[in-house]
Structure 1
């Protein structure tokens, strides 16, 4: 973690939301799904976002999938599912097939599990990489010193911190 998946997804969502009939950014999907009735809670949140209504009534995951299908089929939506770790979560939220969604809809899924999307062959996968040493030093220095590189007095300490963070911008 910490490479910036959520940050990038958030930027994409905010820059593109206006182009769709509705949208929803679901943060911490993994964490929410582990709560009692967590999947239903996630489904309810999506429905509330795209229908602009609060407290959608859903009694089961199956009912939620049916309601999501009805709500999303005729709308172009952008949906961000952040921190997904199980295919079952995707099946409960977006169904085991993409027929839930209007052709112009976009779904972005952030995950640490590279093989999670194998059952969705029509999706594109973008793998974020850590920053190289030069870029890491520049970003760290901008935040720590307000300039692109540290002064000679701070260079050794800054290099040790950069190396310790291993190219992860949020470390």
Structure 2
């Protein structure tokens, strides 16, 4: 979504830069990429403090579009890439994607400026999956039931739909059935690696709460459940808030804890 937005509106600005995988990229490298994309000439910084100075001095009068993709909970990333609104010219737009909503609120973003991406609805999920599995937007008749089974399993997560659809492309029905049976127990490695990023970023007590919820409390959250978790060596209320902020669990309309099938 972020890349599509960037491609559709970048031409409206004096300069534009899409910084991908911010979580895993060294800060100075990100600063150099930003300066190079906007200013074009070779501008090289050798420390994050030098990067801050150059960004503020060279970009404060330019109307730019900057997208920071997959920012983690390290506040220094935002502080040293887009610390204040006056670092950039009037009319600039900064878009941040993150797995942790607290990254945004701790940086001053109000609720009205935060968009929580929803899963694709069934029709869009079906179309996306079929493009990767069959190279057309509708399922082949003989595979209809298997397609429904696959979508029921992965839900509306675009990455999961793309990975699973690509894997099943060109395979016969027997192999489809075998793969879906296998992946209901063990999701594809590429999907697991993405999901594991959010889990690995948790504190130890939060990991314990996540595992307890996964094993015991899904769809049955109540005051008694909270008490059971609180009786352990960690605070469940604070931990549950963290899991919600990182989209590892959600609270459904019936006040139950919900977790995606892939988790």
TM-score (norm 2): 0.55
2:45 maps to 1:31: no
1:149, CA displacement in angstroms?
A: 4.1
Q: In structure 1, what is the Cα distance between the partners aligned to 2:107 and 2:90? A: 15
Within the candidate set 118, 122, 142, 2:105 is matched to 118
1:150, CA displacement in angstroms?
A: 4.0
Q: RMSD across aligned C-alpha pairs, in angstroms? A: 1.7
Moved over 6 A (4+): none
Q: 2:69 — aligned with what? A: 82
Within the candidate set 66, 71, 86, 1:99 is matched to 86
Spell out, residue by residue over 1:40-85, the C-alpha distance to the aligned partner (whole angstroms, 9 max, x if none). 111111011110123x221321111111001111100001111100
Q: In structure 1, what is the Cα distance between the partners aligned to 2:76 and 2:148? A: 42
Matches within 5 A, 1:2-151: 8-32=1-25, 38-54=26-42, 56-85=43-72, 86-95=74-83, 97-122=84-109, 124-145=113-134, 146-151=136-141
Q: Structure 2: any 5+ residue segments left out of the alignment?
A: 161-263
* Aligned partner of residue 83 in structure 1, secondary structure: strand
Within the candidate set 132, 138, 146, 1:157 is matched to 146
Relative to 1, partners in 2 of residues 1:150 and 1:169: Cα closer, same or farther, differing over 3 Å? farther
- 1:39, 1:89 within 8 Å by CA — same for their partners in 2? yes
Alignment length (residue pairs): 156
Q: 2:212 — aligned with what? A: none
Relative to 1, partners in 2 of residues 1:131 and 1:22: Cα closer, same or farther, differing over 3 Å? same
* Aligned partner of residue 109 in structure 1, secondary structure: strand
Structure with greater contact order relative to length (CA < 8 Å, sep ≥ 6): 1
TM-score (norm 1): 0.83
Relative to 1, partners in 2 of residues 1:147 and 1:22: Cα closer, same or farther, differing over 3 Å? closer
Q: In structure 2, what is the Cα distance between the partners aligned to 1:92 and 1:98? A: 12
- 2:2, 2:67 within 8 Å by CA — same for their partners in 1? yes
Spell out, residue by residue over 1:100-141, the C-alpha distance to the aligned partner (whole angstroms, 9 max, x if none). 121210111111111111133356111111123343223323
- 2:126, 2:151 within 8 Å by CA — same for their partners in 1? yes
Larger Cα Rg: Structure 1 or Structure 2? 2
